[in-house]
């Protein structure tokens, strides 16, 4: 029972982490390797707001934090990625370098140690089938599911969402139909980064804000997205459940160290066996040369 409940929580947490990354990739084909850095940044901004400005309300801080992260993401595209569009490896190196710069910059700026924590939304815990679960984790599950439903609706049933999907499927055709691909890419990076921020605010209250989280979040997101198939939201969900449960199982029977090993192995094995992932739509010819 413990495994089931914590498996579900962990899986939803993973899918929350990965949604931003998956969304950005599925719309603009940019592998946003600065994802983890944005995750930590939001947490840090909110921490600064509520601790350094006395009396700053927590909910407002959350909104501001998410907003700033979204803007940072959009700026990354506008200032950097726009110049190297389509050169995938340059995109990876550039976004990764930006991410590392942000993370190490935060570390240098004083984000060290265990003193950085965010308050939980609702304190306390509840007993579910004999397993103690704190309310924050329940919030994660509920908001996580809600976010997914919202995103699904947004992409499939709104005008902007359809435009975004159009871009994802055929950039050139979409451009001919008058959809500005750069604008949508900026938008997608903004939304994706805001999602990274949103997930961080849900998850960080469960632990500390540490720089290392940035790296592990990135790896988890990449693991989930690659296993599920880059660009497929459905695959992202399925993969996060697979990896989520695998992590909880290794956690239970081996040790916590294996969480990362599971994620890394998932990436490597998926890429070797079926690079387009479980739900990938890429053609056979595109993945192998």
Interface residues with another protein (CB under 8 A) are 31, 79-80, 83-84, 88-90, 92-94, 96-98, 100-101, 104-105, 107-108, 219, 222, 226, 254-255, 257-258, 260-261, 264-265, 267-268, 271-272, 275, 283, 285-289
Give 50 or 226: the residue with its C-beta nearer to another protein. 226
Q: Which is nearer to another protein, 12 or 81 (CB)?
A: 81
Nearest to 204 by CA among 114, 274, 277, 82: 114
Length reported for the chain: 289
- Residue appearing with tokens 């691909």: 181
Residue 31 or 65 with smaller CB distance to another protein: 31
Concatenating the DSSP letter of every residue in 125-162 gives EEEETTEEEEHHHHHHHHHHHHHHHHHHHHHHHSHHHH
Q: How far is the CB of 45 from another protein (least distance, A)?
A: 18
Residue 256 parent element (H or E): none
At closest approach, how far in Å is the CB of 271 from another protein?
5
* Distance (Å, whole) CA 92 – CA 129: 45
State residue 111 phi and psi, 5-degree precision.
Answer: -85, 80
Task: For residue 179, give the 3-state DSSP assignment.
Answer: coil
Which CB atom, from 125 or from 208, has the smaller least distance to another protein? 208
Query: In this structure, is the dihedral angle defined by the CA atoms of residues 248, 19, 221 and 211, taken in order, positive or negative?
Result: negative
Measured from the CB atom, the residue of 86 and 123 that comes closer to another protein is 86
| Least spacing, CB of residue 139 vs another protein, in Å | 30
Handedness of CA 267, 269, 274, 278 (dihedral sign): negative
Query: Whole-angstrom Cα distance, residue 188 to residue 196?
Result: 12
Q: How far is the CB of 136 from another protein (least distance, A)?
A: 27
Least distance (Å) between residue 86 CB and another protein: 12
CB burial of 26-39 (b: ≥16 within 10 Å; e: otherwise) equals: bbbbbbbbbbbbbb
Provide, rounded to whole angstroms, the least separation between the CB of residue 13 and another protein. Answer: 20
Residue with Cβ nearer another protein (106 or 195): 106
Residue 183 or 268 having the CB closest to another protein: 268
Minimum distance between the CB of residue 170 and another protein, rounded to whole angstroms?
16
């Amino acid at each position: 029972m413990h495994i089931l409940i914590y498996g579900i929580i962990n899986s939803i947490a993973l899918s929350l982490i990965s949604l931003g990354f998956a969304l950005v990739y599925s719309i603009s084909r940019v592998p946003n390797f600065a994802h983890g850095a944005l995750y930590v940044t939001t947490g840090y901004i909110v921490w600064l707001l509520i601790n350094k400005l006395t009396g700053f309300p927590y909910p407002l801080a959350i909104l501001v934090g998410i907003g700033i992260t979204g803007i940072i993401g959009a700026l990354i595209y506008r200032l950097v990625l726009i110049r190297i569009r389509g050169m995938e490896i340059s995109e990876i190196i550039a976004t990764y370098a930006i991410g590392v710069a942000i993370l190490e910059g935060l570390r240098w700026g004083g984000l060290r140690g265990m003193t950085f924590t965010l308050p939980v939304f609702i304190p306390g815990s509840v007993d579910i089938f004999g397993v103690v679960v704190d309310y924050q984790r329940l919030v994660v599950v509920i908001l996580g599911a809600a976010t997914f439903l919202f995103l699904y609706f947004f992409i499939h049933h709104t005008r902007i969402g359809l435009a975004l999907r159009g871009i994802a499927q055929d950039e050139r055709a979409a451009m001919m139909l008058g959809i500005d691909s750069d604008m949508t890419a900026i938008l997608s990076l903004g939304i994706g980064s805001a999602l990274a921020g949103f997930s961080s605010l849900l998850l960080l209250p469960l632990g500390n804000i540490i720089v290392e989280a940035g790296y592990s979040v990135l790896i988890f997101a990449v693991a989930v997205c690659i296993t599920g198939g880059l660009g497929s939201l459905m695959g992202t969900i399925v993969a996060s459940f697979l990896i989520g449960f695998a992590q909880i199982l290794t956690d239970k029977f081996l040790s916590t160290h294996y969480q990362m090993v599971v994620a890394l192995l998932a990436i490597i094995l998926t890429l070797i066996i079926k690079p387009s992932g479980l739900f990938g739509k890429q053609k056979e010819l595109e993945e192998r040369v």
